[in-house]
Amino acid sequence: MGRLRPGVTAAQAQADTDRVAQQVMRDHPTDLRNYRIHPVVYPLQQITVLQTRPLLRILSWAVAVALLIACANFGGLLLVRTIRRQRETAVRLALGAASRTLLRQTLAENLTLSVTGGLIGTGLAAWAIYGGHNLLPDNLSLTNEITLNRAVAGFAPLLAVLTGFFCDLAPCAAALRTNVNEQMKGGRRSGSRSGAHARLRSALVVLEIAIALILLTASGLLRSFQKMSDVNLGFEPDHVTTAAYALPQQEYPMQAQVNIFNRGLLQQLHQLPGVTDAGLTSAISAAGDRITDFVVEDYVDPRGPDHTVAAPIDVIGDYLHAMGISLLRGWYFTEDDNANG
C-alpha cells in the first residue's frame, strides 16, 4: 500500500508499476522464466468494499425491479383514473379550458401522489436503517457508514419526481385523446379508442407480471445461494478471531528461536479472558492462502492425476480445537507430536 503524491493520478501509478514489473522480469529472467507480472493499481476504498460491492449491486437490481413493478402498477391505476374522468375532462374542454392546463393539472395531481409516496418511502427507509443494522451480515464491511445522508435524501425525491413523470405519460396521452363530442353526447367511447386503452392496460399488466417473474426467479436463486452458505464447512468460524504476524529473520534466524516465540505467544493467548483455545497455523481453512504444494513421490491417486497435489499446512497448539474441526480417526496433535515423536 502507498499514498500517491499530490497531483499523481491512479493511471500514472499504474504506468509506474508496469515499468517496475518489466524491470523486475528483465532483471530476474531465470527466476521468472514461467511467470509474467501484470500489476493492477486499486484505490484502497475499492479494496475495502470489494466483497461488498457484488452484494450491493444485487440488492440495487432487486430494488430497481421492485420499482418497475410499482411503476407499472401506478401507471395502470393512473390510466384507469384518467379514463373514468374523461367526461369531466370533456366538459372542461367544452367550457374553454386549454389542453395544456388540463395536462398541468393531471401532472400536478399525479406528481403529488408520487412525491408523497417517495417521502413516505424515505421515512420507512430511515426507520429500517435505524433498526436493521443488527440484521446485516457480519462480513459486510462499513456497516456503520450506512446512513440516510444528504445524497440519499436528495436522490429519493428526485427519483419520485422522475417516476411520477414517466408514469404520467400514458394518462396524459389518454387525456389528450378525449373525444369531446362523444363524451358530451353521453355515448359510448369509439371502438378504436376503447381498444387502444384496453391494449395499453393489458401491456402494463403483462409488463408487471414479467417483471414480477424476474424478481421471483432472482429470489429463488438467492434462496439457493443462502442454502449453499449454510453448508457444513467442516469447521466452526463463529466466535473465532484470527491475526497474522511475521518474525524478522535477523532477530529470529533459527527455528528454535521461532518455536520459543510461538510457545510464549500461545501461553499469553490462553491467559486472555474469554479465550478457550488458541493455536497457530500457516494457512486458515478454506481461505485459499496456502504457500506451496507438494507431490508425494511414486504416489498415484486413484481419482486421477489432478488429485495428486497436496498442500502442507503447519499447525501448532490447539488450532484444531479452536477451529472446531471434528476428529474422524486417530488423535488430535499434542506436544509429543514433534520432530522427536
Name, in order, each residue with C-beta under 8 angstroms of 56's C-beta and a sequence gap of 6 or more: 49
Q: Based on the fold, state whether residues 267 and 196 are members of the same structural domain.
A: no
- 183 vs 194: CA distance, rounded Å: 13
- What the block records as the C-alpha cell of 327 is 476428529
- What the block records as the C-alpha cell of 182 is 362523444
The b-or-e profile of 131-145 (16+ CB within 10 A means b, else e) is eeeeeeeeeeeeeee
Residue type at 222 in one-letter notation: L
Q: Based on the fold, state whether residues 141 and 77 are members of the same structural domain.
A: yes
Coil, helix or strand for 135? helix
Q: Tell me, what's the pLDDT at 308?
A: 67
Residue 200 lies in a domain: yes
Q: Based on the fold, state whether residues 64 and 201 are members of the same structural domain.
A: yes
- Tally of domains within the chain: 3
Q: How many CB atoms lie within 10 A of CB 279?
A: 17
Please list the alpha-helical segments (H only) found in the chain: 10-27, 44-48, 52-84, 86-94, 99-132, 150-167, 169-176, 180-185, 191-229, 255-270, 319-322
Q: Based on the fold, state whether residues 167 and 311 are members of the same structural domain.
A: no
Coil, helix or strand for 281? strand
**Cβ–Cβ < 8 Å for 71, 170:** no
- 99 vs 172: CA distance, rounded Å: 10
Cα 207–chain centre separation: 26
Q: Based on the fold, state whether residues 156 and 279 are members of the same structural domain.
A: no
Q: Based on the fold, state whether residues 135 and 70 are members of the same structural domain.
A: yes
Coil, helix or strand for 307? helix
The one-digit pLDDT tens for each residue of the chain (341 residues) are: 889 999 999 899 999 999 999 999 888 887 777 778 899 998 888 887 777 778 778 888 888 888 888 888 888 787 777 777 777 777 777 777 777 777 788 788 888 888 898 889 888 888 888 777 777 766 666 677 778 888 888 888 888 888 888 877 777 776 666 666 666 566 555 545 556 666 777 777 787 788 888 878 877 877 777 777 777 888 888 899 999 898 998 999 999 999 999 999 999 999 999 999 999 998 886 666 656 677 777 777 777 766 667 778 888 889 999 999 989 999 888 878 877 87
Kind and range of the H or E run holding 33: none
Q: Tell me, what's the pLDDT at 188?
A: 52
- What the block records as the C-alpha cell of 300 is 498415484
The residue segments making up the domain with residue 18 are 10-41
**Cβ–Cβ < 8 Å for 82, 175:** yes
Q: Based on the fold, state whether residues 68 and 176 are members of the same structural domain.
A: yes
pTM for the complete prediction? 0.54
Residue 100: name the closest of 167, 176, 182 by CA.
176
Q: Based on the fold, state whether residues 324 and 177 are members of the same structural domain.
A: no
Q: Based on the fold, state whether residues 184 and 253 are members of the same structural domain.
A: no
Domain-terminating residue out of 200, 229, 258: 229
Cα 294–chain centre separation: 37
Residue 113 lies in a domain: yes
- 203 vs 200: CA distance, rounded Å: 5
Residue type at 294 in one-letter notation: F
Q: Based on the fold, state whether residues 239 and 225 are members of the same structural domain.
A: no
**Cβ–Cβ < 8 Å for 90, 180:** yes
Q: At what angle do helices 150-167 and 169-176 cross, to 10 degrees?
A: 30
Q: Tell me, what's the pLDDT at 179?
A: 62
Q: Based on the fold, state whether residues 36 and 64 are members of the same structural domain.
A: no
Q: Tell me, what's the pLDDT at 108?
A: 84
